Amino acid sequence: MTDRAPEGEQALLAEPMRSRWSPSIFDDTHVITTEQVRLLLLAAQWAPSCGNAQPAAFVVAVRGSASHQVLVRHLSRGNSGWVPRASVVLVIGAQVAPDENGEGGYKPFHAEYDTGQAAAHLSLQARAMGLHAHQFAGFDKAAVAEELGVPAHYKLMAGIAVGVPGNPADVAERDRDREHRPRRRRPLAAVAHGARWGLPWDGLDE
Amino acid sequence: MTDRAPEGEQALLAEPMRSRWSPSIFDDTHVITTEQVRLLLLAAQWAPSCGNAQPAAFVVAVRGSASHQVLVRHLSRGNSGWVPRASVVLVIGAQVAPDENGEGGYKPFHAEYDTGQAAAHLSLQARAMGLHAHQFAGFDKAAVAEELGVPAHYKLMAGIAVGVPGNPADVAERDRDREHRPRRRRPLAAVAHGARWGLPWDGLDE
């Protein structure tokens, strides 16, 4: 994999937002260090959350580990080729109900939103460390939760595959193709409202 | 406001995650440029989302603008002192149901999670540009949605106040006190599971 240049207006952003994208060809010989994984987790931990509830939690599935083997067995067909090659997968869950003791600093309205923030901080920390992250949803979440003993008050949201670029010749054509899809976003006028919803923010005219 | 140094292990992170925090004392004479606001919105837009659904949308409430006046009227008492001083508030919503045409690239399972990712990218872009962001939930979301015409398929999640540090003497004691609260996070052993949930990831031993 040769890395991709930022597309369109993404090139205007500061790093690590500028060069973040989600590759699908990882080097399956790259070994991530425990210190690197610890920094990824710390970045997630220092993301903001409503009332500092910190709803995000993780299963750390280093390639080849016991939890990685469970995850790999339950990947969707589309993810079964590329995900197992990544150096680590952080399976991320959101605390969506009180814990066994009725506690947990739990703020239900923002549990998923703040878990997304933790995932973003983790992914951007990865990019800043020269790694790439690719989040995916395609795995049997109920089966993984059951086999790994995830309690019912946590909802598994996604897997975050982290690693370094690999050789396109080592992966299936489908995964090579995915790597070259154009990356697009809706125009700001469709998402940035001004005086009221439906009136685009007037800063877009300039 | 003198800026805060990163606390504890946050100091190990890469910028802009390293120096991000949520100040409550903004300079109410600082004017943000439209280009700066545009970059904040672009950062949100280039966050990843499930199937590229891009569920996040914004009301851009520059201090003193029509939408800002609506928001300020509906702030909670705790937020009514500090929020109006920020240079801009981005009110962020998540598309949680199909639009009027039954469309919208809408992925309900990840709508709030991915909206949180957009908020995180926006906030970190702010930090990288020398600005600070402080997200808040305390406002009458139903009243703001009604007055600004937010359609029912969007759920308002938070406000993101962005600006630069102000003079502590200009704000109420409550807001000054908030600025010096210790910032804490749960230990990684509480959130990073390994071989299965409840068994801390073994990388934490080293």
Give me the residue from A12, A50, A112 closest to B113, CB to CB: A112
Whole-angstrom Cα distance, residue A107 to residue A115?
Answer: 11
pLDDT given at position A85: 97
Cα torsion B63, B66, B70, B71: sign: negative
Nearest to A51 by CA among A116, A134, A110: A110
Q: Is A160 on the interface with B (CB under 8 A)?
A: no
Q: Among residues B81, B68, B69, which one has the least CA distance to residue B179?
A: B81
Task: Please list every residue in chain B whose beta carbon sits closer than 8 Å to the beta carbon of residue A192.
Answer: 41, 57-58, 60
pLDDT (tens digit per residue) in B64-113: 999 999 999 999 999 999 999 999 999 999 999 988 777 655 688 999 99
- Give me the pLDDT at residue A206, please: 55
Q: Is B42 on the interface with A (CB under 8 A)?
A: yes
| Per-residue confidence (pLDDT) for residue A149, from 0 to 100 | 98
Determine the Cα–Cα distance for residues B119 and B103; give it in Å rounded to an integer.
Answer: 23
Strands B88-95 and B56-62: antiparallel
The pLDDT, as a whole number, for residue B100 is 78
Contact between residue A166 and residue A106 where contact means Cβ atoms under 8 Å apart: no
pLDDT in tens, B150-195: 999 999 999 999 999 999 988 888 888 888 888 999 999 999 999 9
DSSP bridge pairs for A156: A93
> Angle of helix A34-45 relative to helix A111-128, nearest 10 degrees?
140
φ, ψ (nearest 5 deg) of residue A91: -85, 120
Of A58, A47, A142, A136, give the one whose Cα is nearest residue A92. Answer: A58
* Residues A79, B198: Cα–Cα separation, whole Å: 27
List beta partners, residue A58.
Answer: A92, B192
Residue A64: CB atoms within 10 A of its CB come to 11
Beta bridge partners of B154: B95
Q: How far is CA A118 from CA A108, B20, B88, B180, in A?
A: 16, 13, 24, 23
Reported as half-sphere exposure (CB side, CA atoms, 13 A), residue B46 has a value of: 27
3-state secondary structure A9-74: HHHHCCCCCCCCCCCCCECCCCCCCHHHHHHHHHHHHCCCCHHHCCCEEEEEEECCCHHHHHHHHC
Question: What pLDDT shows up at residue B104?
Answer: 59
**In the predicted structure, residue B49 carries a pLDDT above the cut 60:** yes
Q: What is the ipTM of this complex?
A: 0.96
Amino acid A17 reads: M
Q: Determine the length of chain B.
A: 206
A101 touches chain B (CB under 8 A): no
Give the whole-angstrom CA distance, residue B39 versus residue B69.
Answer: 23
B10-40 pLDDT, tens per residue? 999 999 999 999 999 999 999 999 999 999 9
Per-residue pLDDT of chain A (206 residues; tens, 9 = 90+): 457 889 889 999 999 999 999 999 999 999 999 999 999 999 999 999 999 999 999 999 999 999 999 999 999 999 999 999 999 999 999 999 988 777 655 688 999 999 999 999 999 999 999 999 999 999 999 999 999 999 999 999 999 999 999 999 888 888 888 888 889 999 999 999 999 999 999 998 75
- Interchain proximity A137–B195, CB inside 8 Å: no
pLDDT at B175 (0 to 100) = 83
Structure tokens at A15: 């790093």
pLDDT for A2: 52
Tokens matching residue B44: 């949100």
Best A13, A49, A122 member to test B by mutation, with max B CBs in 10 Å, is A13
What is the pTM assigned to this prediction? 0.97
Rounded CA separation A199/A190 (Å):
10
Q: Counting every residue, how long is chain A? A: 206
Listing DSSP states for A107-167 in one string gives -GGGHHHHHHHHHHHHHHHHHHTT-EEEEE--B-HHHHHHHHT--TTEEEEEEEEEE-B--
* DSSP designation for B130: T
Q: Is the pLDDT of residue B141 over 90?
A: yes
Q: Do B65 and A195 touch (CB under 8 A)?
A: yes
Q: Check CB contact of B11 with chain A, cutoff 8 Å.
A: no
Position B1 confidence tier, pLDDT thresholds 50, 70, 90: very low
For residue A148, the chain B residues in CB contact (below 8 A) are 193, 196-197
Do B45 and A15 lie within an 8 Å CB cutoff?
no
CA B167 to chain A, closest CA, distance in angstroms equals: 23
Going from the N-terminus, what domains does chain A have, and what CATH number goes with each?
22-182 (3.40.109.10)
- Region of A181 please: left (phi>0), alpha (psi -120 to 50) or beta: beta
Could you give the C-alpha distances from A45 to A71, A89, A131, B39, B83, in angstroms and in order? 23, 17, 19, 26, 25
DSSP element (H, E) containing B148:
helix B141-148
Angle between helices B34-45 and B111-128 (to 10 degrees): 140
Q: Are B145 and B165 in contact (CB under 8 A)?
A: no
From the list B39, B114, B193, which residue is nearest A59 (CB)?
B193
Question: With an 8 Å Cβ cutoff, are B115 and A113 in contact?
Answer: yes
